[in-house]
């Protein structure tokens, strides 16, 4: 009898899971194979609100965004394939990365702490969490703007976005919320939803080839720069061959006006792809593969150079 009781206690203890602690997670990069897979995969909805796992993901997102100096961050940029992202509560137009003085550098922990000893600007309390987001309506009016991404260091893309969006999402308790975003806030939220949909700023359907490499990194990203230039011409040709892939009208089911603003109601979720021709699907696969290969080539060259000078 004693043996059975003792055994039962041991079994119960063995089933107790260790507490999951939030942590700063490695950033997925386009020049790593695992990073590319994560960045190009469509994320799935998060379930189990209030669980240790859900709490850990949300807090790890906040910690990682603060640590890397990002004003927004999606879970798949950390290798977590759930539709969840965080956005800073006090966005500043045009700023994607901290510090303000150099948008192209990812800030190390040591530099970050020196820049802001109190961590006031990038404190984790300044980040909101959006779970299972879905854009239900967008403004008819759109505008172009330059965007950056922490997973694509030194690159920026000029992307056309609606100036306003209506978002339905869940908070950390699982409650459904609805919120309108305008101007730069709308752009940032749209940017993160693209991440959830497996797209990033250099994707041909978003950038349409309008991609630039920071001047001081052009030599470092020589192969990638050559691929970008090549695809700028190919994308223009694709516009002629299959213009439907750049048209968004098919994604809307109705339109209404509110406070003088014309809104397009989205059929399912904003960003859902329209049916591609077989040639366009091949173009998409080739684009991603060749961009990755070019980034890998640049990385190998930089690694060899660093190894040479350190020896």
Under DSSP, the state recorded for 78 is G
What are the structural domain ranges in the chain?
16-310
Q: Is the pLDDT of residue 53 over 70?
A: yes
* Percentage of residues in the chain having pLDDT higher than 90: 36
The answer to whether the Cα torsion of 238, 190, 30, 276 is positive or negative is negative
Is pLDDT of 66 > 50?
yes
What distance lies between CA 76 and its chain's CA centroid? 7
Q: What is the pLDDT of residue 248?
A: 66
Query: Is 209's pLDDT higher than 70?
Result: yes
> For 266-299, how does the pLDDT look when each residue is reduced to its tens digit (9 = 90+)?
886 544 445 556 667 677 778 888 888 888 888 8
For the chain, the C-alpha Rg in angstroms (whole number) is: 22
- CATH level 3 topology of 16-310: Peptide Deformylase (3.90.45)
Residue that wins the pLDDT comparison between 4 and 146 = 146
Residue 16 has pLDDT above 60, yes or no: no
Helices (H) and strands (E) in the chain, counts: 8, 10
Residue 131 has pLDDT above 50, yes or no: yes
**Proportion of the chain above pLDDT 70, given as a percent:** 80
Q: Measured between alpha carbons, how far is 306 from 214 in angstroms, rounded to an integer?
A: 20
| pTM as predicted | 0.82
pLDDT value, residue 126: 92
Mean pLDDT of 43-49: 88
Q: Could you give the residue ranges of the DSSP H alpha helices within the chain?
A: 2-15, 33-39, 52-68, 109-115, 183-196, 204-207, 222-241, 278-310
The helix (H) or strand (E) run that includes residue 237 is helix 222-241
- Residue 144: exposed, middle, or buried by beta-carbon count in 10 A (0-12, 13-18, 19+)? exposed
């Amino acid at each position: 009898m004693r043996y059975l009781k003792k055994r039962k206690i041991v079994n119960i203890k063995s089933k107790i899971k260790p507490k999951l602690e939030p942590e700063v997670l490695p950033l997925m990069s386009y020049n790593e194979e695992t990073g590319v897979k994560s960045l190009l995969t469509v994320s799935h909805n998060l379930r189990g609100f209030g669980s240790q796992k859900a709490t850990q993901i949300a807090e790890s997102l906040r910690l990682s965004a603060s640590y890397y100096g990002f004003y927004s961050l999606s879970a798949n940029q950390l290798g977590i394939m759930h539709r969840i992202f965080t956005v800073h509560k006090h966005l500043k137009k045009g700023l994607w990365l901290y510090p303000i003085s150099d948008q192209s550098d990812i800030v190390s922990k040591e530099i970050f702490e020196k820049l802001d000893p109190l961590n006031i600007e990038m404190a984790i309390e300044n980040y909101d969490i959006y779970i299972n987001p879905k854009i239900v309506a967008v403004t008819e009016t759109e505008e172009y703007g330059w965007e950056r991404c922490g997973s694509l260091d030194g690159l920026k893309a000029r992307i056309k976005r609606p100036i306003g969006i209506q978002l339905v999402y869940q908070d950390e308790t699982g409650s459904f919320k609805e919120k309108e975003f305008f101007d730069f806030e709308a752009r940032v939220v749209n940017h993160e939803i693209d991440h959830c949909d497996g797209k990033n700023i250099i994707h041909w359907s978003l950038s349409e080839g309008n991609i630039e490499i920071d001047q001081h990194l052009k030599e470092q990203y020589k192969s990638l720069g050559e691929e970008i230039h090549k695809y700028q011409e190919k994308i223009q040709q694709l516009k002629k061959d299959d213009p439907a892939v750049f048209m968004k009208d098919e994604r809307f089911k109705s339109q209404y006006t509110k406070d003088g603003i014309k809104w397009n109601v989205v059929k399912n979720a904003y960003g859902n792809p329209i049916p591609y021709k077989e040639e366009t699907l091949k173009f998409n696969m080739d684009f991603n593969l060749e961009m990755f290969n070019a980034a890998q080539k640049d990385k190998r060259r930089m690694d060899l150079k660093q190894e040479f000078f350190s020896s």
